[in-house]
Amino acid sequence: MEFQLTESQRALQDAARKYAREVVRPKAAHYDETSEFPRDLLSAAFELGLLNMAIPSEYGGVGLSHLEQVIVCEELAWGCAGVATSIIANDLANLPIILHGTDDQKKRLLSPFGEKLKFSSFCLTEPGAGSDVAAMSTTARLEGDEYVLNGNKCFITNGGYADQFTVFATLDKGRKHKGITCFVVEGRPQGLTTGKHENKMGQRASNTTTVTFDEVRVPVANRIGEEGEGFKVAMATLDNSRPLTASLSVGIARAALEHSLDYSGQRHTFGKPIREHQGVQFMLADMAMNTHAARLLTWESAWVLDEGQRNTLQSSYAKCFAADMAMKVATDAVQVYGGYGYMKEYPVEKLMRDAKLIQVYEGTSQVQRLVIAKELFR
């Protein structure tokens, strides 16, 4: 067992850290405040190859291993979790193609992402179907050599700026999850509309919209996997993306810890820096310990995937533990800052708002526990 990062893993970490520190951090408060789309930051990320990390190099991506991706992603989230979510949204949307696409589909649908800045959205969630994927009501019907999509998707990351959409729809609602099928919609064809950017509590730099399909036509060649395989495709995608989401939490928590260490050394009460009070020390120790524990779970869950093994259990451990941990650590950071922590002039209340979303998206912490229990009963 090897706990040391390799030289090239450290180089990737350094590159992402430099981008997070010098490019993202100076703008993080601005994009949090305005909730504008951070195009300049994403454009810089594209130039550095931080977008599309998961696309294999033979299809024009960077082709990082899962472990390398989570190492990089922690740094991005340390810079700003909203920007990081926008960055990894492409990989989330492209994972179904990476995992289940044919060679032709990969060439056509993945390669353009390496050539120019382009966004893709993963469209699974609906107003009435989140983790309960089988309740999906977006439909697909076959007409000649095209499928026709109808329905509404919500909470779609980068929806307003995407020019490719990976969409899950059912061929027959009566068949529950066995009717679900995955499609890739290229461009913004007639009938596809996106709603206004949602006014979110946290991760405000990431664009979030509804996406509506009204008689949107998709060629059969853009069906990923077979008819009825969409549920399997979605679950495999989430097994792959949970380590990334977990690493976002670790990045947020590390930022919260660092701010707290710094501030607790400057702020004095009762004649000494507050970090010399035992009550504050206990909080700082717990923050550091839990951040590190989450990092190790995250690395393990990515490593298992790199070994070619199923990681459903480990990735749910990682995502659930890391998300809950980040929420607690960020809340404690606000506590360490006291009244100042509640003020927007200080950086920690943003971390608390950003962390909350990770307990919710890509499977709530409760759903992760259901997955864990199910795995334990196997």
Partner 1 sequence: MKILVTAKRVEDPESKIKVKPDGSDIVKEGLKYKINPFDEIGVEEGLRLAAKHTGEVVVVSIGGKEVQEQLRHALAMGANRAVWVNHTGPLDQLGIAGLLQKVAEKEKPDIVILGKQSIDDDQNQVGQYLAEFLGWGQATFASKVESLESEQEKSKSPAVVLTADKKSVQVVREVDNGLATVEVQLPAVVTTDLRLNQPRYASLPGIMKAKSKPIEELTPAALGVDVAPKIQVLKLASPPARKAGIKVPDVATLVEKLHNEAKVV
Which residues, 263 to 322, sit near partner 1 by CB under 8 A? none
Q: What value does the CA radius of gyration of the chain take, rounded to a whole number of Å?
A: 21
The answer to whether residue 12 forms part of the interface with partner 1 (CB under 8 A) is yes
- Using rule CB under 8 A, residue 10 touches partner 1: yes
Which of the residues 90 through 109 are near partner 1 (CB under 8 A)?
Answer: none
From 146, 276, 362, 375, active-site residue? 362
**Alpha carbon distance 142, 78 (integer Å):** 45
Q: Which stretch binds partner 1 (CB under 8 A): 5-13, 116-124, 232-240, 299-307?
A: 5-13
Q: Do the beta carbons of residue 182 and residue 233 sit within 8 Å? A: yes
Least Å from the CB of residue 15 to partner 1:
5
Within residues 68-87, the interface with partner 1 by CB under 8 A covers: 72
| Structure tokens that stand for 362 in this block | 């890509």
Q: CB 75 → partner 1: shortest distance, Å?
A: 12
In the list 40, 47, 215, 262, the residue contacting partner 1 (rule: CB under 8 A) is 47
- Both tokens of 51, joined, read 């977008």
In angstroms, give the least distance from the CB of 306 to partner 1: 15
Stretch 227-246: interaction string toward partner 1, x if CB under 8 A: --------------------
Contact segment (CB under 8 A) with partner 1 among 50-58, 116-124, 168-176, 281-289 equals: 50-58
> What ranges in the chain are assigned the alpha helix state H?
7-19, 25-34, 39-47, 66-79, 81-100, 103-109, 112-115, 230-266, 278-306, 312-337, 348-358, 365-376
Short-list 174, 167, 186, 165, CA closest to 225: 167
* Residue 362 among the catalytic residues: yes
Selected binder of partner 1 within 1, 3, 7, 144 (CB under 8 A): 7
Tell whether residue 39 is a contact of partner 1 (CB under 8 A).
no
Which residue in 204, 357, 334, 359 sits closest to 259, CA to CA? Answer: 334
Closer residue to partner 1, CB minimum distance, 74 or 354: 74
Q: Any contact of residue 40 with partner 1 (CB under 8 A)?
A: no
b/e map of 2-15 (b: 16 or more CB within 10 Å)? eeeeeeebeebbee
53 near partner 1, judged by CB under 8 A: yes
Q: Is 373 in the site for partner 1 (CB under 8 A)?
A: no
Query: Which C-beta is closer to partner 1: that of 112 or that of 189?
Result: 112
Q: How many alpha carbons lie under 13 Å from residue 320 in its C-beta half-sphere?
A: 18
In angstroms, the Cα distances linking 221 to 62, 73, 186, 214, 243 are 25, 32, 12, 20, 30
Beta bridge partners, 139, equal 150, 170
* Contact between 55 and 98 (Cβ < 8 Å): yes
Stated as kind and residue range, the H or E segment containing 157 is strand 146-157
Residue closer to partner 1 (CB basis): 50 or 167: 50
Q: Which is nearer to partner 1, 75 or 227 (CB)?
A: 75
18 makes contact with partner 1 (CB under 8 A): yes
State in angstroms the smallest separation of the CB of 56 from partner 1.
11
- What residues act catalytically? 362
Q: Where does this chain bind partner 1 (CB under 8 A)?
A: 7-8, 10-12, 14-16, 18-19, 47-50, 53, 57, 62-64, 72
